[in-house]
Amino acid sequence: MAAGARRGLSATELDHRISFWRGAPIDDGTATIDGPPAEIGRRSAKRVDVKDGERMRANQQGQELTTRWTVRSDALTRSIAGGDIIKHRGITYAVVGTKEVSGRFIGIEITTAARPDARV
């Protein structure tokens, strides 16, 4: 059995290189706030942009691009949550949700939102 078949996600599907960013907590003496985002890792991913019809059914409006990224499950990708950021080809995507796909510890689907006109 090929490694890709065993893992559930083939290397040819994961054709985009994305970077994950997260702000480290900073104690300012009054409260703990997120500091400036720093890169915490890079992974290969499959990218699927949500179709307009699906966005309308979800009642989303405006010039926002909703994208779903599928990555292999590992310690880093399982830690991704709302508030984290994905950067790809000069666009910053805000993570809005994650879920497990393809069975236990096979893949993670990360849903993001971005403004295509807001480039890094």
The class of domain 3-114 in CATH terms is mainly beta
3-class DSSP state for residue 78? helix
Round to whole Å and give the CA distance between 71 and 84. 15
Tell me the CA end-to-end span of the chain in Å, nearest whole number. 41
| pLDDT above 80 for 2 | no
For 71, counting Cβ atoms within 10 Å of its Cβ (0-12 exposed, 13-18 middle, 19+ buried), the class is: buried
What are the tens digits of pLDDT across the range 28-52?
Answer: 889 988 889 999 999 999 999 987 6
Q: Where are the domains of the chain?
A: 3-114
Q: Where are the alpha helices (DSSP H) in the chain?
A: 3-7, 52-57, 75-79
Which band of pLDDT confidence, cut at 50, 70 and 90, is reported for residue 1? very low
pTM: 0.79
Cβ pair 80, 108 in contact under 8 A: yes
